[in-house]
């Protein structure tokens, strides 16, 4: 039964204390590693290639300035001065000591934060559009529903030991920016006869068996959200495979059993479950809708913005690239990319986090978002403040005008940090970004989405990149497979493997050939690489990647 917990701080503190006790019992030998491992994973603690790693939850990527300062404090106090934004809108700290993690969880609890359910076979962080509540094309703000799902799924007794991890994304824009089709459950807010509801997708996921989800319900009224989601997960909990870790995700359950069978079971379960919901969920939703009310937007002129655009080409270039249309006249959403040349995609220093917290207070209605593409968004900035904001960001090296361009690469930590990785991702991302900026080709190429994963588990979402790169271990040498034509947004598509993999040093030349071939064949500057690929098919691009084969 769903119940509202208006103040969760006590619960979070309690969980931190529990973990402190568990660590103490592990250190004094009362718990074996086999007993301790699932407990630490429940609290987001992994053991990685060089150290422990703590993954902290940032529910649907929404974070306050004070919470951002808390992350900065953790980075500076317990880590090496930085953290890493993940592709699921969370943050990872790469160097904590196990003995310090209980203190980190206490500190987080004081800011209303935690690491609960950031690992383990449970419902993970619910993700959404980084422009939620701000985007011009938004149908309905997804955050109240995301908060309802978060609140309901946290410590949900029935779903703590699912066959495998479970990821939900929710999108409120007329354009999907939450990768709905690539999640275990994807929800798209739609309206029918003036009523808000959801198009419900199920069975999507990447990893070693990438699949796009399927629509299980065309329209689910909003009041049925929790019972229906509960019915899907309860059905999966019983029918999902537990004999083989690699066949345990819901995408396999749905594809093996068939959507019709899975849907019939879900609908039957839904009728049973709905009887147990007596309205607390709907009351909670009403509270959350109030909580996510729009800030007090200013009604001011933006002449200064236009003047600065005319006067300052660098500002104009940044504004053309890194702003997103806002639903309120005079406002814009600002994308602060963490993809400066030479930097690690998604890494933020404590100083940068503190600056963003200050800037959000000064110019951004106290709102910050972590985007799934490892950037930070200030969702509500008045255009008259953009010039000052740009200056402050530029001084901190955070004003790179590259949102959505070649160097705005999504990359997992790869074998520089991850114990599961089969090759490195970060140096490949850095080399590609450096190369195309040095060649001056980035602006000419235009919108391009490169995604890199350091293993088949696909945390870098390489299948969804226009260009995807997958790092593998081939006979003891790092080797990179390239996929083409993936799309997480408008027309969801899994990228197709282009051919044999490349050694690390041949990746940049291969991508360079690919881009030059694209520039040759595109019909106009507005035809993106992905559009040209869809129009022409893979042949001309494979020929560019493998010139020897083409001439053989």
Partner 1 sequence: MSKAFTPTAARPGVITANDLREGHNVWMCDEGWTADPKRATVFEDEAIAEIALLEAIGQADRVVGPYLAEVRRGPDGPEPTHFREAFRQTGPSNYFHGIQAEKAQAANV
Q: Which of 8, 78, 98, 207 binds partner 1 (CB under 8 A)?
A: 98
According to the binding rule CB under 8 A, does residue 29 interact with partner 1? yes
Asked if residue 33 binds partner 1 (CB under 8 A), the reply is yes
129 binds partner 1 (CB under 8 A): no
- Tell whether residue 424 is a contact of partner 1 (CB under 8 A): yes
Cα–Cα distance measured from residue 53 to residue 415, given in angstroms and rounded to the nearest whole number: 14
Q: Which is nearer to partner 1, 162 or 415 (CB)?
A: 415
Q: Which stretch binds partner 1 (CB under 8 A): 8-16, 96-104, 124-132, 479-487?
A: 96-104
CB atoms within 10 A of CB 262: 23
- Of 192, 59, 62, 220, nearest to 134 by C-alpha is 62
**What φ, ψ does residue 490 adopt, rounded to 5°?**
-70, -50
Position among 2, 95, 288, 518 found at the interface with partner 1 (CB under 8 A): 95
Number of residues that bind partner 1 (CB under 8 A): 31
Question: Contact between 49 and partner 1 (CB under 8 A)?
Answer: yes
Tokens, residue 512: 């360079």
Rule CB under 8 A: say whether 530 interacts with partner 1: no
Binding of partner 1 at residue 416 (CB under 8 A)? yes
Rounded to whole angstroms, the Cα distance separating 380 from 364 reads 5
By CB under 8 A, tell whether 147 contacts partner 1. no
Closest distance between partner 1 and the C-beta of residue 51, in Å?
Answer: 4
For the bound state, the minimum distance from the C-beta of residue 82 to partner 1, rounded and expressed in Å, comes to: 8
Piece of 7-15, 235-243, 259-267, 419-427 that binds partner 1 (CB under 8 A): 419-427
Query: Which residue, 76 or 98, has its beta carbon nearer to partner 1?
Result: 98
Q: For 154, list phi and psi in degrees, rounded to 5.
A: -65, 120
Looking at the Cβ atoms of 15 and 26, the one nearer to partner 1 is 26
Sole binder of partner 1 in the list 69, 80, 241, 316 (CB under 8 A): 80
- At closest approach, how far in Å is the CB of 75 from partner 1? 13
Q: Which helix (H) or strand (E) holds 331?
A: strand 331-336
Beta pairing class for 91-93 and 82-85? antiparallel
Q: Verify binding: residue 55, partner 1, rule CB under 8 A.
A: no
Token pair belonging to 251: 């995408």
Name the minimum Å distance from CB 52 to partner 1. 4
Dihedral (Cα; 491, 493, 499, 502), 10-degree rounding: 90
* Per-position b or e across 484-505, b if 16+ CB within 10 A of its CB: bbbbbbeebbbbeebeebbebe
With respect to partner 1, which residue has the nearer C-beta, 5 or 50?
50
Q: 486 φ, ψ to 5°? A: -75, 155
Q: Which of residues 478-497 bind partner 1 (CB under 8 A)?
A: 478
**5, 14, 24, 27: residue in contact with partner 1 (rule CB under 8 A):** 27
Q: Please, what is the minimum distance in Å from the beta carbon of residue 412 to partner 1?
A: 13
Q: Looking at beta carbons only, is 119 or 140 nearer to partner 1?
A: 119
Contact between 241 and partner 1 per CB under 8 A: no
Least distance CB 114 / partner 1 (angstroms) = 20
The first and second tokens of residue 358, run together, are: 């200050």
Closest CA to 494 of 481, 506, 505, 483: 483
Tell me the window of 197-205, 279-287, 421-429, 505-513 that interacts with partner 1 (CB under 8 A): 421-429
SS3 125: coil
DSSP string across 341-387: TTSPTTEEEHHHHHHHHHHHHHHSTT-EEE-TTS-EEEEEEEGGGHH
Contact 186, 214 (CB under 8 A): no
Name 497's Cβ contacts closer than 8 Å, sequence gap at least 6: 481, 482, 483
- Asked if 151 contacts 181 with a C-beta cutoff of 8 angstroms, the reply is no
CB 63 within 8 A of CB 369: yes
Per-residue interface string for the shown chain with partner 1, residues 436-475, x marking contact by CB under 8 A: -------------------------------------x--
Nearest approach, Cβ of residue 19 and partner 1 (Å): 15
Q: Which of 59, 213, 427, 485 binds partner 1 (CB under 8 A)?
A: 427
**Looking at 97-105, 137-145, 162-170, 370-378, which segment touches partner 1 (CB under 8 A)?**
97-105
Judged by the rule CB under 8 A, the positions of this chain that interact with partner 1 are 26-27, 29, 32-33, 47-52, 80, 94-99, 344, 347, 415-417, 424, 426-427, 430, 473, 476-478
């Amino acid at each position: 039964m769903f119940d509202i917990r208006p103040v969760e701080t006590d619960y979070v503190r309690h969980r931190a204390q529990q973990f402190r006790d568990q660590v103490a019992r592990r250190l004094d030998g009362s718990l074996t590693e086999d007993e301790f491992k699932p407990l630490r994973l429940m609290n987001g603690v992994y053991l990685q290639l060089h150290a422990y790693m703590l993954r902290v939850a940032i529910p649907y990527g929404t974070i306050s300035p004070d919470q951002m300062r808390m992350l900065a404090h953790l980075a500076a106090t317990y880590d090496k001065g930085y953290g890493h934004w993940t592709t699921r809108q969370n943050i990872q700290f790469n160097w904590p000591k196990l003995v310090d993690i209980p203190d980190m969880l206490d500190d987080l609890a004081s800011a209303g934060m935690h690491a609960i359910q950031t690992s383990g076979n449970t419902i993970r962080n619910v993700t959404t559009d980084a422009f939620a509540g701000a985007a011009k094309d938004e149908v309905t703000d997804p955050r109240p529903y995301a908060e309802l799902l978060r609140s309901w799924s946290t410590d949900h007794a029935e779903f703590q030991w699912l066959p495998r991890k479970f990821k939900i994304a929710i999108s409120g824009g007329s354009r999907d920016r939450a990768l709905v089709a690539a999640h275990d459950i994807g929800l798209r807010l739609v309206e029918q006869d003036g009523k808000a509801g959801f198009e419900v997708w199920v069975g999507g996921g990447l990893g070693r068996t990438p699949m796009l989800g399927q629509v299980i319900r065309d329209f689910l009224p909003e009041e049925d959200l929790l019972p229906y989601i509960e019915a899907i997960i309860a059905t999966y909990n019983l029918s999902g495979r537990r004999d083989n870790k690699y066949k345990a995700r819901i995408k396999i359950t749905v594809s093996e059993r068939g959507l019709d069978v899975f849907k019939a079971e879900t609908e039957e379960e839904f009728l049973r479950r709905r009887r147990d919901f007596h309205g607390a969920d709907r009351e909670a939703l009403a509270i959350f809708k109030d909580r996510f009310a729009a800030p007090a937007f200013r009604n001011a002129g933006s002449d200064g913005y236009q003047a600065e655009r005319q006067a300052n080409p660098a500002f104009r270039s940044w504004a053309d690239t890194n702003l997103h249309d806002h639903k309120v006249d005079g406002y814009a959403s600002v994308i602060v990319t963490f993809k400066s040349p030479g930097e690690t995609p998604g890494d933020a220093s404590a100083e940068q986090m503190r600056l963003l917290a200050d800037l959000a207070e000064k110019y951004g209605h106290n709102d910050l978002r972590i985007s799934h593409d490892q950037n930070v968004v200030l969702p509500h900035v008045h255009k008259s403040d953009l010039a000052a904001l740009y200056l402050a960001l530029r001084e901190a090296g955070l004003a790179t005008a590259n949102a959505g361009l070649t160097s705005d690469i999504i990359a997992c930590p790869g074998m520089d940090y991850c114990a599961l990785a089969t090759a490195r991702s970060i140096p490949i991302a850095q080399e590609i970004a450096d190369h195309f900026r040095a060649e001056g080709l980035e602006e000419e190429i235009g919108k391009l989405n490169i995604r890199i994963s350091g293993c088949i588990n696909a945390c870098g979402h390489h299948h969804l990149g226009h260009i995807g790169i997958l790092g593998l271990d081939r006979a003891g040498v790092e080797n990179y497979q390239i996929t083409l034509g993936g799309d997480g947004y408008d027309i969801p598509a899994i990228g197709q493997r282009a051919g044999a993999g490349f050694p690390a040093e041949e990746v940049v030349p291969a991508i360079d050939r690919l881009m030059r071939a694209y520039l040759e064949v595109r019909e106009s500057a507005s035809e993106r690489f992905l559009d040209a690929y869809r129009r022409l098919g893979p042949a001309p691009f494979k020929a560019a990647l493998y010139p020897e084969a083409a001439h053989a």
